[in-house]
Structure 1
Amino acid sequence: MALETRVLQADEWDVWYDQLELAFGGVPESPEERKLYRQLTETERSLGVWDGAACVASAGAFSFRLSVPGGTLVPAAGVTMVGVSPTHRRRGILTSLMRRQLDDVRAGGEPLAVLTASDPAIYGRFGYGTATYGLAVDIDTTRVRLSVPPGTDEVTLRLADPEEVLADCERVYARLVAGRPGMPARQPGWEQLALLDPPGTRGSGSPLKCVVAEGAGGEVVGYARYRVKPDWDLKGSDGKVEVADLDALDPAAYAALWRYLFGIDLTWTVRAHRRPVDDPVLHLLSDVRRSQARMRDSLHVRLVDLPAALEARTYGAPLDVVVEVEDAFCPWNAGRWRLAADAEGTAVCTRTEAPPELELSVRELGSAYLGGITLTSLAAAGRVRELRPGALSEASRAFAGDVSPWLPHGF
C-alpha cells in the first residue's frame, strides 16, 4: 500500500503522538506533558505519514516570533515532533517531510525555520546550521563564592507559588526578549511550559518552587524557578538545587537570586542547564573551574526566504558584500546576493551578477544569523571561502552580536 502524507486532523492526534513517542524510544510521556503538547499542537501545521491505518511518521511546526539582532521579532516556524517509525526508516520519508514542510513555511511567508535537534547530524543536510549553544554549570557551593554588585542587599526576595506569580514572571521575560537574539516571544499557552512539573519527572526532588525579586516599589524585577533534591551520605547532607529558569532586569536582582540559591540550607551544589554561554553568573563566581561549565548545541536556524531573513536583522558595522550561496534543498535561495548595510545597521539584500566576494552555504548563514557564531570561525573550519581580501573580516564584524544568542526553553 502506498504511503499517504496529509495534514493532521484533530481526532488523529493521539495516534499521531503515539507514533512520535515510539520513534523516540517508546517511553510514554507524563499525562501532564502530553496534555500540554496536545493544547499547543497546531494541527494545521502538523503532518502525518500513514501506511493504511497506521501513522508511521510525523512532523509539526509552531508559529513563533523569534528575536533577532536589533530586537525585531521575526516570524519563524518552530519545527518539532519529527519522527519516523523504526519499521519505515531509510525510505526517504524524513526527506519528503522536510521538503513539504519547508515549502509550506515559504508559502506562509516565514523567513526562518528553527529547531532543536535530537541528533544534530541529521538536519545539516536540510540547510539547518547550529546558531546557539546552551551552557550548563554544576557549581560546588562549598568551594565557590559569589561576588555581588552594589545594590544587591536592597533587593527584596519573596517565595511564591509559581502559578500565582506567573503573570509577573512573564512580564519580566517579555522585557528581555528583544535584547537577546534567539529568544521566542511567548505565544498564548506557552507560559504553561514553565510550570510543567509532573511528579514522575522530579526524581527525588521537590515540587517546583519560585522565588521572586522585587524592586523598591514592590515590582517584580526577577525570578528563579527551581527544585531542591535532598540527599544524605555518611558525611551528612549532600543536597542539590536544580535551577529551571532565572531571569532578571538588573544586575542587583540577578545577583540576589543567585545568592539565594547558593544559600539554601542542606544543599552544596547548584545545577543550572540551558543558560546563555555568556551568562553573567560566570563573572560572579570565585572559581569557574569548580563550576564544571560545559556547552552543547541548542537552536538550529534555517533561512527559508534568504533576502527577507537577512533584511530583518540589523548589523553591527557597515557592510557591502557579494555572497555566493549554495542551497540545494531550497534552490530559490541559491546564487549571488549583494548584502549592503548602512551605519544604522539597516540592510538591503538583492540578487546581483557582480563577482562573488564570499562563498558559503545556507547552513553557514544560518549559524551566523543570530550573531553568536562568527564567519571567521566558520572560515577557519573551511566552511566559508573568502574571494576578495578583507571581505571576510568585514562581514564577520557586521554579523557578530553584542550578546550571545540564547534559546531559554525547548519545544
Structure 2
Amino acid sequence: MSSEVRTITDAEFHDWVRAVATGFLRPPDISREEVDVRRTTTDLARTLGAFDGGRCVATLRSFTQELTVPGGTAVTADAVSNVTVAPTHRRRGLLSRMMAADLAAAEERGDALATLTAAEYPIYGRFGFGPATWTTEWRVDVPRAGLDPRWSGPGDGGRIDLVDGAEVRKLGPELHDRMRAARHGVVSRDDHWWRVFTGDVRHPGGGTWIEPFYAVYRSPEGRVDGLLVYRADDKWEAKVPHNTATVSDLLADGPAAERALWHFLLSVDWVTTVDSGPRAPDDLLPLLLPDPRAARITTHADFLWVRLMDVPRALEARGYQGSGSLVLEVHDATGLSGGRFRLDADPTGSACAPTTESPDLALPLGALGSLYLGDESAVRLTALGRAEELRTGAAVRADQLLRTSRRPWCPDVF
C-alpha cells in the first residue's frame, strides 16, 4: 500500500512528533507536555507527514525565516526542518514527495529562497540546495595562547558585565538584529528562540537545564555591542585546575566587542581550555591570539544550505562590490526555478531578468546556491566540473561579482 503525503491534523501531531524523534534516534516515548510545547510554535499548514496504515512514517515542516544576504538585506526564506523518514520506509520517494510539496508551496507564497541545515551532506543537492556557509570550531589551549595574564578589561573605555537570562531576553534581540544587518548568512531569531535559549521555556525531555554565564560588552558610550554565553566544567587534578569553558553564543556588533569578549573568556581564572562553539571559518579568534597555534580546529563542515526559489529576485536582493554583467544558464531538476538569466550588477543597485542571450556560465541551481552568499568560487566549481564556462573568463567574472570580503556565517541550527 502506498503512503499518503499531506499536511497533518492537530490530532496527528503527537504521532508526528514521535516520528521526528524516531528519525533522529531519540527516545520515542514523547510526553503530552512536550507535544504541547512544540505545538505552540508549529504551523500545521506547513507541517507534512507521510502516513502508512494511519501511522506517520516521514516528516517535514517549514517556517518563515529571514536570511541576511550580502549588502545587508533580509530576504524571506522558506526554512525547512524536522526532515525524517522512518528506517522501515526508506527508498520509497517519501522525502521527494514532501520536498516537492513544500517547495511548491514556497513558490506560491513568493519566497525568494529556501534554507536548511543538513544532517547528511548527499541528500539535498538533488532538490536544488547548495552549501552556502561553513562553520569552524576551535579548541584553545589557554596557557599556550600567550595572552597577557594581567588583562583586566577592555582598553577602549568599554566594559564587560555579567547579567542574567532575563536581561539577555531584553538586550539580546536588539543586539542580534544589529549584528545580522551587518553579517550575511545570519538568520532571524524570534521571541520563542530567546526564551528557550535562556531557559525561560524548557522542552520536556531536553535534559537537565544548566544555567550558563552571560556576559555583555558595553561600548564607551554604554551601548550593548556584544553578548557572550558560555558554560564551564569543574575539573581539577592534584589541586590544579583543568577546566573547559564552552561557548554557546558570541554575538558582536563590531570587532571591538568581539575582541573584548574573547579576551575576557580567555582570561577567566581556572579556565585552561576554551571550546569556541560554531564560528565563521574566518573568525577573528585564531589570529587574535599571540600564538594562533594554540587554537586547534576540531570541526570544519558545511552548515547553511540555500536554494534560490526566484533567481532574479534573489540575485537582485543581494549587494555587489563590483560592476559587471553575467548571463547564467541555471538547471533545476525540479523544474521550478531554472532558466537563463542576465545579471547586471553594480554597487548602487542591480537588475536580473530572463533573457535569450547566449549564456556565459552554465550551472545547476545548487551550485548557484553555493555561490549566492559569496563563499564559494565559480572558478573552483568549474574546475570540479560543477559549472561550465561557456565564455572565456566567465567564472573569474562571476567571482568578481559574487564573492565577498568576509565569509558568510550562520550561527544557528534549525
- TM-score normalised by L of structure 1: 0.92
Q: Which moved more, 1:242-251 or 1:61-70?
A: 242-251
Mapped partners of 2:292, 2:231: distance in 1: 23
- Displacement of 1:83: 0.4
- The 3 A distance-change label for structure 1 pair 206 and 101 is closer
Mapped partners of 1:265, 1:38: distance in 2: 43
Amino acid at match of 1:359: A
Residue in 1 aligned with 2:328? 323
Contact between 1:206 and 1:229, CA under 8 Å: does it hold in 2?
A: no
1:359 correspondence with 2:362? yes
2:166 is paired with a residue whose SS is: coil
Q: Which moved more, 1:282-291 or 1:118-127?
A: 282-291
Residue in 1 aligned with 2:120? 119
- Displacement of 1:87: 1.2
* 5+ long unaligned stretches in structure 1: none
Q: Which moved more, 1:31-40 or 1:231-240?
A: 31-40
1:338 is paired with a residue whose SS is: strand
Q: Deviations over 1:92-123 (max 9, x none)?
A: 11111111111111011101111001101111
Mapped partners of 2:225, 2:29: distance in 1: 34
Contact between 1:129 and 1:365, CA under 8 Å: does it hold in 2?
A: yes
1:94 correspondence with 2:99? no
Residue in 2 aligned with 1:302? 307
Residue in 2 aligned with 1:388? 391
Mapped partners of 1:17, 1:336: distance in 2: 41
Mapped partners of 2:291, 2:171: distance in 1: 33
Contact between 2:58 and 2:85, CA under 8 Å: does it hold in 1?
A: yes
Contact between 1:129 and 1:302, CA under 8 Å: does it hold in 2?
A: yes
- Displacement of 1:392: 1.4
- The 3 A distance-change label for structure 1 pair 178 and 192 is same
Q: Deviations over 1:335-362 (max 9, x none)?
A: 3221111352x22222222211111110
Mapped partners of 1:175, 1:327: distance in 2: 35
- Displacement of 1:318: 1.2
1:17 correspondence with 2:7? no
Residue in 1 aligned with 2:42? 41
1:176 is paired with a residue whose SS is: helix
1:137 is paired with a residue whose SS is: strand
Residue in 2 aligned with 1:194? 197
Contact between 1:162 and 1:225, CA under 8 Å: does it hold in 2?
A: no
1:174 is paired with a residue whose SS is: helix
- Displacement of 1:201: 6.7
Mapped partners of 1:146, 1:362: distance in 2: 46
- Displacement of 1:89: 1.0
- Displacement of 1:265: 2.1
- The 3 A distance-change label for structure 1 pair 152 and 277 is farther
2:122 is paired with a residue whose SS is: helix
- Displacement of 1:55: 0.7
- The 3 A distance-change label for structure 1 pair 156 and 68 is same
- Displacement of 1:17: 0.8
1:239 correspondence with 2:243? yes
- Displacement of 1:65: 1.1
1:215 correspondence with 2:199? no
- Displacement of 1:199: 10
- Displacement of 1:26: 3.2
- The 3 A distance-change label for structure 1 pair 167 and 28 is farther
Mapped partners of 2:203, 2:3: distance in 1: 36
Mapped partners of 2:144, 2:345: distance in 1: 48
Mapped partners of 2:71, 2:156: distance in 1: 33
* 5+ long unaligned stretches in structure 2: none
Q: Deviations over 1:6-63 (max 9, x none)?
A: 2122332221011011011133599898765433222211111111321111100110
Q: State how 1:45-84 maps to structure 2 within 5 Å.
A: 45-84=46-85
Residue in 2 aligned with 1:268? 272
- Aligned pairs, number: 407
Q: State how 1:392-407 maps to structure 2 within 5 Å.
A: 392-407=395-410
Contact between 1:67 and 1:180, CA under 8 Å: does it hold in 2?
A: yes
Contact between 1:199 and 1:207, CA under 8 Å: does it hold in 2?
A: no
Contact between 2:156 and 2:220, CA under 8 Å: does it hold in 1?
A: no
- The 3 A distance-change label for structure 1 pair 41 and 322 is same
- The 3 A distance-change label for structure 1 pair 37 and 405 is farther
Mapped partners of 1:96, 1:87: distance in 2: 17
- Displacement of 1:304: 1.4
2:165 is paired with a residue whose SS is: coil
1:5 is paired with a residue whose SS is: strand
Q: Deviations over 1:152-176 (max 9, x none)?
A: 3522221111232322122111101
1:152 is paired with a residue whose SS is: coil
Q: Deviations over 1:163-201 (max 9, x none)?
A: 323221221111011211111122342222432577987
Contact between 1:160 and 1:210, CA under 8 Å: does it hold in 2?
A: yes
Residue in 2 aligned with 1:368? 371
- The 3 A distance-change label for structure 1 pair 73 and 278 is same
Matched-pair identity in % = 37
Q: Deviations over 1:301-358 (max 9, x none)?
A: 11112222112112221121111111111x24223221111352x2222222221111
Amino acid at match of 2:172: C
Mapped partners of 1:248, 1:408: distance in 2: 12
Aligned-CA RMSD value: 2.4
Residue in 2 aligned with 1:278? 282
- TM-score normalised by L of structure 2: 0.91
